[in-house]
Chains A and B, each alone.
Chain A
Amino acid sequence: MKRKLLTGNGAAAWGARLAKADYIPAFPITPQTEIIETLAKWIDTDEMEGRLVTLESEHSMITAAGTAASTGVRVFTATSSQGLLYAMEMLYTVAGWRAPLVLVNVSRGLSAPITLEADHNDVMAARDSGFLQIHCSTCQEVLDGVIMAYRISEDQKIRLPIIVNLDGFYLSFTREPVELPDKEAVDAFLPPFDAGNIKLRANMPESQAVVVLGGSPYSYFRYEMHLAEMNGLNIYESVAGEFKKHFGREYASVESYRTDDAEYLFVMMGSFATKAKEAVDRLRDAGWTIGLLRPRLFRPFPAPTFQKLCRGKKAVAVIDQNLSMGKGGILHGELASALYGHNEMPTILASFIGGLGGRDISTEEFFEMANVIKRSFEEGSTPPPRLLYTDEELREIRKLQTIANVERNSLKGEQ
């Protein structure tokens, strides 16, 4: 095993290569493009077997990914943001076909206004589709995540497609040391693709993805998809356990960082959660008993694990790097519904929105969030959700607005 400096995109490409993906339907989009460029190069130079085809849109790309998997080959694909949304119809469709495949999403904020940097609204939009979701916070996790994802997706008890998510720029273009497992070690962990009972062959004709009319039959197929996805809770654990045995690295469905004796918790996903670890360490130095919970598995939602890990805690700050317009932080809502009604759950579940479009979250902001939930616990009342934004930032945007010829009046706060 060797440690190399890899970007998140590079790690994703290595994951696909080590998993011996047969078919890579592709379409370029920032900040994912390096993944398909890397794979294309390897295929062109015979370092990797496999076929990469550029489709004319992400909607077509996911269609091709799904039909190829339904025919019977191992498929890898990647996209971001607008591309993921353009394909959204097919995400739901392909999951309904029960086509196993790995889709790497390099998270990027959504239009409008259009931007290039990371947040999680794109991948959150796919949460109801039937795709499982694994969220990574390091480049190592990306590579390992792709390999584990194939085991999970192709498991006969699941047979659903899976998204492995990494943040644009902060992981996709950032190099970190990554341990590259040996080919043989990966082969021992991940067997070749087994099409199982759904495939296209001349000698066993099938009509796939057919119309289902009637609420009762339709409900059956949809519920079964959900049950299959729920099997992901157990299967993730067993695959992660095996991964640890083979490679020595442990990936619980929810990472708990210094939470055992913690009274207060941060809950956060993705690469920015790494920053929360720094904040935890500094707060601990200052005498706090605080920790971080970082879900890796977002779909299926690891509710039982969260119930266990939140039991007896006083207050929780959920930091969402996404915003459901008209409601608030998505992870916050998911967590609240998972914890409600269970015994000894934290009295305070506070919502913070930060990091949209890659907006940085400073360590001081983490300290302040910790103080907010502590005060709230002492006062016994949940604070309103906070959109993380500073006075300096507001002044900055006013300057931009001046240039953009917004009326002077509004600078003084008048209508």
Chain B
Amino acid sequence: MILEIIRAVVGFLLVLFIPGFAATYALFPKNDELDEIERIALSIGLSIALVVLTIAALNMATGMLITATNSLLVILLMTLALSVIAYIRRT
């Protein structure tokens, strides 16, 4: 039961928040460009857009299957790439 709850929370965060949060730092690396609440709201909007559009595009263009493993890989790779961009832009 606890594991299921943890998976659900992590799942929601992976689709609805984390990639977008990395994207906000990649796009607007300085803290003074967005305040905390603006960054959180934008993270949710961007996260949905990035995850959905990337997975839909990969499915249509390459035939990649929409499965939990593939989705997880895409989300993690996207977050990693955005985090690297954010790091480079911040430094």
Partners in one complex: no
Please list the residues of chain B having a beta carbon within 8 angstroms of any beta carbon in chain A: none
